[in-house]
């Protein structure tokens, strides 16, 4: 699928498309956000800028804001941003929410440089060449030594048939891309943790 097709699909996504735990229970869905944030909070200090890329309905944005980070939630879907705003209001926390396809993060952040960019359950829906373009945009707004946490699973998925399918990476291709972007692995798992050199 083309980059724009994925963005359009997200704008009309149903709750079950957003995250598999939503269909288990709403409580498990929101708790998964806290679980994921607790795994990455060590990569930035409270008060530092953190980008929740593809923030969706605020599953990670809310917990990040509650922990005291300066959170910028970015999404290409206004419907998702509206849902994130409602979630933040319900939690009683604040974060800046910006409409963006992710290729213009320099515009979104201005002179700010992020300590951490989180892209969970986002890049897996894009073709490899689009993932590389999006990661390049993230690297531009990341301070030296800053960290990107993103789903970049290793495996063999074949041809993607729909926007909800997962993009799998050959380990060597993934390592080559990461290095070419000026990043180094902290963790080479399916949820990759990468530091800007």
Q: Which domains does the chain show, CATH number per domain? A: 3-196 (3.40.50.150)
Cα atoms found within 13 Å of the Cα of residue 182, Cβ hemisphere only: 14
Which residues, 6 or more positions from 31, have their beta carbon under 8 angstroms from its beta carbon? none
Residue 182 buriedness (CB in 10 A; 0-12 / 13-18 / 19+) = middle
Q: How far apart (Å, rounded) are the C-alpha atoms in residues 38 and 4? A: 32
Which residues, 6 or more positions from 91, have their beta carbon under 8 angstroms from its beta carbon? 62, 65, 66
pLDDT at 93: 98
Q: How far apart (Å, rounded) are the C-alpha atoms in residues 22 and 195? A: 31
pLDDT at 2: 66
pLDDT at 64: 98
pLDDT at 183: 98
pLDDT at 28: 86
pLDDT at 167: 86
- pLDDT by residue for the chain (197 residues), tens only, comes to 565 655 565 566 555 555 554 566 888 889 999 999 999 999 999 999 999 999 999 999 999 999 999 999 999 999 999 999 999 999 999 999 999 999 999 999 999 999 999 999 899 888 889 999 999 999 999 999 999 999 999 987 665 666 567 888 999 999 999 999 999 999 999 999 999 99
Question: What does 55-83 look like in DSSP terms, one character per residue?
Answer: -TTTTTHHHHHHTT-EEEEEES-HHHHHH
Contact criterion met (CB below 8 Å) for 40 and 115: no
- Tell me the residue length of the chain: 197
- The token duo for 94 is 């604040």
Q: How many helices (H) and strands (E) does the chain have?
A: 8, 7
pLDDT at 4: 65
Cα atoms found within 13 Å of the Cα of residue 169, Cβ hemisphere only: 27
Partner residues linked to 137 by β-bridges:
none
Report the predicted TM-score, pTM, of the whole model to 2 decimal places.
0.89
pLDDT at 16: 56
């Amino acid at each position: 699928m083309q980059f724009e097709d994925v963005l359009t699909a997200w704008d009309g996504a149903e709750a079950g498309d957003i995250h598999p735990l939503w269909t288990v229970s709403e409580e498990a869905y929101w708790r998964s956000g806290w679980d994921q944030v607790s795994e990455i909070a060590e990569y930035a200090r409270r008060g530092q800028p953190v980008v929740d890329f593809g923030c969706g309905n605020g599953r990670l944005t809310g917990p990040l804001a509650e922990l005291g980070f300066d959170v910028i939630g970015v999404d290409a879907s206004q419907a998702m941003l509206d849902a994130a705003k409602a979630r933040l209001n319900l939690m009683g926390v604040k974060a800046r929410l910006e409409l963006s396809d992710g290729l213009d993060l320099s515009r979104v952040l201005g002179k700010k440089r992020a300590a951490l960019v989180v892209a969970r359950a986002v890049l897996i829906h894009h073709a490899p060449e689009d993932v590389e373009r999006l990661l390049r945009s993230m690297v531009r707004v990341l301070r030296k030594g800053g960290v990107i946490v993103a789903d970049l699973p290793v495996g063999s998925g074949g041809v993607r048939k729909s926007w909800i399918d997962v993009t799998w990476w050959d380990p060597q291709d993934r390592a080559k891309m990461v290095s070419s972007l000026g990043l180094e692995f902290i963790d080479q798992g399916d949820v990759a943790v990468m530091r800007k050199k």
